[in-house]
Structures are given as structure tokens and as C-alpha cells.
Amino acid sequence: MSFLAKIRSAFGRSKETLSAIESLGRARKPVDAAFWDELEELLLLADFGFPTTEKIIGGLRTVAKQELWRTSDQAIARFRKDVERFLTLPEAEINLAKKPAVILVVGVNGSGKTTTIGKLAQRYRNERKKVLLVAADTFRAAAAEQLAIWAQRSGADFVRGREGADPASVVFDGVQTGKARGAEIILIDTAGRLQTKTNLMEELKKMRRIIERELGEPPAETLLVVDGTTGQNAISQARLFNEATKLTGVVVTKLDSTAKGGVLVAIVDTLEIPIKFVGLGEAADDLRPFKPSEFIDALFEDSAA
């Protein structure tokens, strides 16, 4: 299934708010105070968040005045373009230029880190790349088991530490092993942690320092995995993880279970970090590179058809 078809069927389940935005355009209502209020409410419902909503509406109102818009279809057509522009950042491609390309994966508990790594491993193995998975989640033995299954399934190499070991030591082993075996991509899984727990964020900084020391440069990618159903807490996660580990990209998972696609726009807008992949289900091929134009087309299903 194409990204478009997949995301359409995923969103099809519960895309009321976004269809409502579309209907608001089709209704060709006058562009008046009531219209702006209605649009604002819909954006907040779709999880664009207050600051991003205000920015989008403020921009639209300015153009509405300049261009003397009369009906809401003009506003919604422009809205669509604005959202695409908001979502489009440079460096949106995953960076695999370095050998090995080290990808550190971080996020709160249950956001989908391990599953995302498994899907990435499968993707790169399909391209015949030499992939190493590193289980630096030493918090629970089950975490390493879960990653081991993905390694086995995809034919990736696998390194783990003892339960309770210092995750930084596992990262060290992982990078050493990867270099020695000529791995092209090293994916490092970390334990879920709350962005507000300072000691756990320090632990991440340490892992990053080890990678930097062993490679002579920062990891090729530090990806934050965010659960798309979380709502505005995703913004706080992105901000605090970015402070600790300087993120290069975000992966938004579980988009198949939410209508609140606006959170993607809020993340990119407030933090200027690109979304690199989206998760649309639990299977290996349910991770897709994120393409703003396709995403917008999927959201505005009817008008795109």
C-alpha cells in the first residue's frame, strides 16, 4: 500500500476534525469573526496547539485583509499550503552518509522506540545493508528480548548488556562491535524515560558523549520517538529531549490510532526539528518516510482526489 493509501485508511477511522476543516472551506462561508473562531476551535481540536494555531490564524488573517478574501474556501486553500510549508524543513532525509551511521533512539515509555528500531532494521536489511542493533535498554531483560526478536527476524546483528548494566557501557560495546564488524548502520535502543527526570536525561547525555568519543563526532541521527496520540505533551517531550541530546529528527508513531495529526505541525513549528518517519501500525512495513505534501493530501482526502 502506498504511503498515501495507508495514511488515508489509517486516518479514515477518526478524521472528523480535519474533514471538518475541509467542510468549512467547501461551505464557502463569509470570512468573518465567526469563521475565524470556528477554524481556531478546529485546529485546537486537531492538536495544533495554541501557539501554532495562533500563528497560522494570524498569518491567514493578514493575507485575508490584503487579498480581500470573501469566502472560506479561499482561506482553507491557503491554510493547506501554509501547513505544508510549516512542515517542510531542510535535513528531512535520514543521514546515512557515515560508516557506521549511528542512530540513537530516545523517548518516553511505550512511545514505540523498540518497534521503530525493528522496522528500521527491516527496512535497511531489505536494502542489503549491514545493520547492528544495540539493546542499551538494560532496565528490563524483556526489552533486550524484544529487540533480539527484531534482530533475528530482519537478519541484523545484535549486541546487548546485562540487565541493570550501565547503558553507556552497552553503547560503548555496541559502537566498538559495529566498527569491528563493519556495520553500516548501528541502531541504539534506549529505555523509556520521562523527559522531566533529570538523572535519566543525564544518562542519555552520557550515552551521547560515549558515541561522540568513539566516533570522533556526534551520532548521525538522534531520533525522538513520540506517540502521536499523546497530544500536546509531545511538545514538552521534544523540547526537553532536544535540550539533553540535540535531536536531529522525530518519529511520530501510532498515527493509525489518532485523528490529531496537528501535533506534527506543532512539533515542527515550535522546535524546528524535522519529522523523519511516521508509524502507521505495528507491522514491519508500517513505518514510512514522512513527506509533507503526501501527508497534507492524505488529510485533505476529498479535495485532493
Q: Name the residue nearer to ligand GTP (CB basis): 76 or 188.
A: 188
Full strand arrangement of the beta sheet holding 157-160: 157-160, 131-136, 185-190, 101-106, 221-227, 249-253, 275-279, 287-289
Residue choice 163, 272, 282, 285 for contact with ligand GTP (CB under 6 A): 282
256 belongs to the binding site for ligand GTP (CB under 6 A): yes
Residue choice 208, 254, 260, 288 for contact with ligand GTP (CB under 6 A): 254
Query: Shortest distance, CB of residue 118 to Mg ion, whole angstroms?
Result: 10
Query: Shortest distance, CB of residue 226 to ligand GTP, whole angstroms?
Result: 10
Query: Shortest distance, CB of residue 223 to ligand GTP, whole angstroms?
Result: 12
Q: Name the residue nearer to Mg ion (CB basis): 113 or 291.
A: 113
Task: Indicate which of ligand GTP, Mg ion, none lies near residue 109 (CB less than 5 to 8 Å, by partner kind).
Answer: ligand GTP
233 belongs to the binding site for ligand GTP (CB under 6 A): no
253 belongs to the binding site for ligand GTP (CB under 6 A): yes
The number of residues that bind Mg ion (CB under 5 A) is 2
- At 1, which amino acid appears? M
- At 2, which amino acid appears? S
Binding segment toward Mg ion, per CB under 5 A, in 37-45, 89-97, 106-114, 219-227? 106-114
According to DSSP, the residues that pair with 132 across neighbouring strands are 157, 186
Where does this chain bind ligand GTP (CB under 6 A)? 107, 109-115, 137, 143, 192, 225, 253-254, 256-257, 279-282, 286
